[in-house]
Amino acid sequence: MMKKNKATAGLYLHIPFCLQKCLYCDFCSFAGQDGDTHARYVERLCREIVDRAVSVGQLTFDTVYFGGGTPTLLSPDLLGRVLDTARTHLCILPDAEVTVECNPATADAAKLSLLREAGVNRLSIGLQSADDGELRALGRAHTAKAAIETVRAARQAGFGNLSLDVMLGIPHQTRDSLDRTLDTLLSLSPEHISAYSLILEEGTPFYDARDTLPLPDEDTVVALTEQAFATLAGAGYARYEISNFARAGFESRHNLHYWRMDDYLGVGIAAHSLIGRERLQNRPDLAAYLDGEDITEREELLSDEVARDEYVMLGLRLVEGIDKREFRERFGLEFDALYPAIKGYARMGLMLDTPDRAAFTDKGFAVSNAVLAEMLFN
């Protein structure tokens, strides 16, 4: 029987509005919505928080994450209202990590100062590239200059915890252009960096144009990834997850809840929750949500086997890997007995296997999807 870590949980708040839809994005988001729709959505979001508080009163939250879409498209007053409602009706620790995703095209100095005053203490800023041609190819609404100015404004507003995103394997990207992006990124000295490869998701313009997109070939993407990771490591950023790097003490506490399979509550359309062994999802239906309909559905009640495999799949995304003692405490079974294939991967240099821990090596991370598929599902 699975035992959950009840110490702390994460709260996710989905803001589904953006200036324009990026060409690669398959997230639930809507461009062109007016201020009245924003206000109605926030009113409904606050009502859902109050309603859900009844069933999650046992949870203590140490992270709050506004994702999207583009949360900074909303006014600071609206975002502050959501945060105040959550603090009033949920048990949120005073020192909680409170993150807001930020598009540089939607955040000026005044807005960032108001967000900091409202209690937001971490920004996740979508830089993606420092090359304006690459940004245009992605369908981004900001320029490299705007991103730099946003980071500087965030520092002036008092933010001491910034995360910047950079994308790899994007249209027109070369080793030289990536070098320039990394130089810009490091000059901004963020505490946290996400460096991830472009994925062509079905239903996006990029997927439809996949045969004609000017993308780097597979070998070049591998080289770009190695280049980025080596540069970040050389600059003092420790890799702690497949595509995430941080200075010591600045790992994303919220995302660690997902990767460690702790409890988390998702509020807003398209949001997901995992409470105990019950996974819930909110339908991505904006009209129904604004009309006050209950859009929350049970997606799955995790069986012991599914919970174990998911715990391993998520935990092995982390450089720290799986703590075998914790695995035993959660599931009442021995990790080595359930996943004997790890011995072979360890002999191949793909995994680290000790009496206490199982984890991917750097070499193993490069082929982790294939290893996990064979290890968990074959």
Cβ of 128: how many Cβ atoms within 10 Å? 24
HEC assignment per residue over 232-259: HHHCCCEEEECCEEECCCCCCHHHHHHH
Number of folded domains that form the chain: 2
- Residues with Cβ < 8 Å from 233, sequence gap 6 or more? 239, 245
Q: What is the pLDDT of residue 44?
A: 98
Question: Same structural domain for residues 84 and 162?
Answer: yes
- 295 in a structural domain: no
H-run or E-run covering 76: helix 76-89
State which amino acid sits at residue 201.
E
Give the pLDDT confidence score for residue 2 in this predicted structure: 39
Residue 356 lies in a domain: yes
Mark whether 89 and 228 lie in a shared domain.
yes
Same domain, 249 and 328: no
> Is there a cis peptide before residue 236, judged by omega within 30 degrees of 0?
no
What is the CA 125 to chain-centroid distance, rounded? 12
Per the structure, the complete domain to which residue 132 belongs is given by 9-258
Assess whether the previous peptide bond of 292 is cis (omega < 30° from 0). Answer: no
Which 8-state DSSP code applies to residue 215?
Answer: P
169: which 2 tokens?
A: 């394997």
Specify the pairing of strand 244-246 against strand 192-197. antiparallel
Residue 119 lies inside a defined structural domain of this protein: yes
> How many whole angstroms separate alpha carbon 197 and alpha carbon 210?
15
Whether residues 348 and 208 share a domain: the answer is: no
> Are 350 and 205 in a shared domain?
no
**Residue 165: other Cβ atoms inside 10 A:** 19
Is 312 inside a domain boundary? Answer: no
The predicted pLDDT at position 299 comes to 83
361 CB-contact burial (10 Å; exposed 0-12 / middle 13-18 / buried 19+): middle
My answer on whether 233 and 375 are in the same domain is: no
The answer as to whether 325 is a domain residue is: yes
CATH number at residue 371: 1.10.10
Q: Contact 237/250 with Cβ under 8 angstroms?
A: no
Indicate if 373 and 225 belong to the same structural domain: no
Half-sphere exposure of 368 (CA within 13 A, CB side): 22
In 48-131, the DSSP E strands lie at 60-68, 91-102, 122-128
Would you say residue 273 lies in a domain? Answer: no
Task: Give 10-residue mean pLDDT values along the chain (378 residues).
Answer: 64 96 90 93 98 94 96 96 98 97 94 97 97 95 95 97 97 97 98 96 93 94 96 98 97 97 97 95 96 92 94 97 96 95 95 96 93 86
Same domain, 251 and 323: no
User: Are 272 and 281 spatial neighbours (Cβ–Cβ below 8 Å)?
Assistant: yes
Locate 139 and state its tokens. 């369908």
- Is the domain of 154 the same as that of 245? yes
pLDDT at 7: 84
Last residue of a domain, one of 258, 276, 303: 258
- Angle of the 109-118 helix axis to the 144-156 helix axis, nearest 10: 40
How far apart are alpha carbons 225 and 229 in whole angstroms? 6
Q: What is the CATH number of the domain that holds 199?
A: 3.20.20.70
Residue where one domain finishes, among candidates 211, 228, 258 = 258
Whether residue 161 is contained in a domain is answered as yes
Answer with the one of 258, 291, 306 that is the final residue of a domain: 258
Helix (H, G, I), strand (E, B) or coil at 202: coil
Exposure of 281 by Cβ count < 10 A (0-12 exposed, 13-18 middle, 19+ buried)?
Answer: middle
Mark whether 238 and 337 lie in a shared domain. no
Please report how many Cα atoms fall inside a 13 Å half-sphere around the Cα of residue 293, on the Cβ side.
12
Other beta carbons less than 10 A from residue 328's beta carbon: 13
With left for phi above 0 and alpha for psi between -120 and 50, is residue 367 left, alpha or beta? alpha
User: For residues 327 and 335, is the Cβ–Cβ distance under 8 A?
Assistant: yes
* Helix, strand or coil, per DSSP, at residue 302: coil
* Pair 105, 219 in one domain: yes
Is 285 inside a domain boundary?
no
